[in-house]
């Protein structure tokens, strides 16, 4: 079964480099995304890297958005234990 990922392929990657089990889907419209997501599991990845990186800043903005999207879609969510939101997933379950 393929893993569906929604978004754009980063410029530095080629679609030939993607694993055959990974299926890249188009970006979903923000206002209808919770209703259009297929059944599955929401993955909110986070980073434990240095706070002095652009990726860390991106994650601080992106992780709450992803979590709220998956919860609005009523999907189960996987979070790393070091995520600032990990305590929420333990409470909900």
Asked, for residue 75, whether it belongs to a domain, the answer is: yes
The total number of structural domains in the chain stands at: 1
Asked, for residue 10, whether it belongs to a domain, the answer is: no
Structure tokens at 74: 């009523």
Confidence check: pLDDT of 92 > 60: no
| H-type alpha helices, the chain | 33-36, 54-72, 86-92
Confidence band, pLDDT 50/70/90 cuts, at residue 15: confident
Asked, for residue 45, whether it belongs to a domain, the answer is: yes
- Name the more confident of 92 and 89: 89
26-79 per-position pLDDT tens digit: 888 988 999 988 888 888 876 666 666 676 777 777 778 888 888 999 998 888
Q: How many CB atoms lie within 10 A of CB 62?
A: 14
Residue range of the domain that includes 86: 29-92
Asked, for residue 88, whether it belongs to a domain, the answer is: yes
Q: What are phi and psi of 58, to 5 degrees?
A: -60, -45
Question: So what's the pLDDT on residue 48?
Answer: 60
């Amino acid at each position: 079964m393929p893993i569906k990922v929604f978004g754009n392929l980063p410029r530095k990657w080629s679609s030939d480099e993607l694993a055959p089990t990974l299926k890249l889907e188009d970006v979903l419209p923000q206002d209808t995304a919770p209703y259009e997501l297929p059944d599955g599991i929401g993955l909110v990845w986070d980073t434990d890297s240095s706070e002095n990186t652009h990726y860390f800043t991106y994650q601080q903005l992106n992780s709450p958005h992803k979590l709220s999207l998956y919860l609005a879609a009523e999907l189960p969510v996987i979070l790393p234990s070091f995520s600032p939101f990990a305590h929420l997933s333990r409470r909900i379950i």
